[in-house]
Amino acid sequence: MRVWTLLKVYSFLVYTFMFAPIAVVLLLAFNNSQFGGFPIEGFSLRWFVKLYENEAIIRAFRTSMSLGVLTALISTTIGVLASLALVRYQFRGKDFITTFLISPVLVPETVLAVGVLIFLRWLSMPRSFLLLLVGHSIIALPFVVLVVQARLVGIKREYEEAARSLGANPVQTFFQITLPLLMPAVFAGALFAFTISFDNITATIFWRPAGMETVPTQIFGMLRNSISPEINALGFVMIVITVGVPVMAGGLARYFSRKKT
């Protein structure tokens, strides 16, 4: 019994250590005080208003959103097609390509970031939003491939074969049968990609063109001056987006699948 009690206390402490900072950010976002610290002086939404009025932050937010959405689109499209090829077809060099697609997860991000920069220098290309987008897509791709592949293995080939035998050509079969059955994984993969892009900072610092900020680099920049309570509000918004979107999506998916059966 004593062991269990100890274990419980220990677990509680570990979780507290992990989640307390997040809770602090969430709480302080609503603090009325001029300085980001305890004690809380009163409930206020003024930092959110200030955030909204801060043009630099709004610009960074827009950049992050479009970067995230485009990254999700690109890496999901490529990831689905790559998974289809890897799971459904036999060809030479398949193992190599699998490893190659997954490798961005294995390579330290700093190394990847520097490598891409050196490559760009060699091509004498300037840093741009496009580069940032391609880079984020490369980082997000392995997650999409892993999620989609896992689901695709579970979709029996017979569904596709049945559709083909009934007269659907390969493209029709993909859109009528494979894609709808794959949708939960595609959706999950896209969300992963979005979140990974949305809070990526390491590679972004290396790749962003001069003058362009994403939300994480903006926060990082603001922190260098002072810890403004605005940052807590921004942190709150980021947490809501990166936690809220997947949770909401999961809930929606469950709701729709329940309606069907």
Partner 1 sequence: MARVDLKNIKKSYGAVQAVKQADVTFEEGSFTTLLGPSGCGKTTLLRMISGLETPTSGDILVGGKRVNDVPIHKRNLGLVFQNYALFPHRTIGENIAFGLKYRGVSKSDTATKVTEALDIVRLPGVEDRYPTQLSGGQQQRIALARAIVIEPDVLLLDEPLSALDANLREDMRVELKAIQHRIGVTSIFVTHDQSEALAMSDKIIVMSAGRVEQVGAPEEVYNNPASEFVASFLGASNILEAKVISKDAKNIVLDAPHFGKIPVPLAQAQRMGDAPSGKLVIRAEKLRLADKPGDTNTVSANGVVEAVDYQGQIARYFVRVGDIQLQALNMIESRPFAIGAEVSVVLKTADCALLPAGA
Closest to partner 1 by CB, 169 or 225? 169
**What are the backbone angles phi and psi of residue 53, rounded to the nearest 5°?**
-85, -15
Least CB distance to partner 1 at residue 85 (A): 18
Closest to partner 1 by CB, 43 or 89? 89
Q: What is the identity of the amino acid at 252?
A: L
Closest to partner 1 by CB, 32 or 172? 172
Closest to partner 1 by CB, 46 or 164? 164
256 touches partner 1 by CB under 8 A: no
The answer to whether the CB of 242 falls within 8 A of the CB of 215 is: no
Residues 146-175 that bind partner 1 (CB under 8 A): 156, 158-159, 161-169, 172-173
261 touches partner 1 by CB under 8 A: yes
Closest to partner 1 by CB, 64 or 173? 173
Closest to partner 1 by CB, 129 or 159? 159
Residues 171-210 that bind partner 1 (CB under 8 A): 172-173, 176-177, 180-181
Least CB distance to partner 1 at residue 143 (A): 25
259 touches partner 1 by CB under 8 A: no
88 touches partner 1 by CB under 8 A: no
Least CB distance to partner 1 at residue 148 (A): 17
Least CB distance to partner 1 at residue 180 (A): 5
124 touches partner 1 by CB under 8 A: no
Q: What is the dihedral of CA 196, 200, 203, 204, to 10 degrees?
A: 120
* Interacting residues toward partner 1 by CB under 8 A: 156, 158-159, 161-169, 172-173, 176-177, 180-181, 260-261
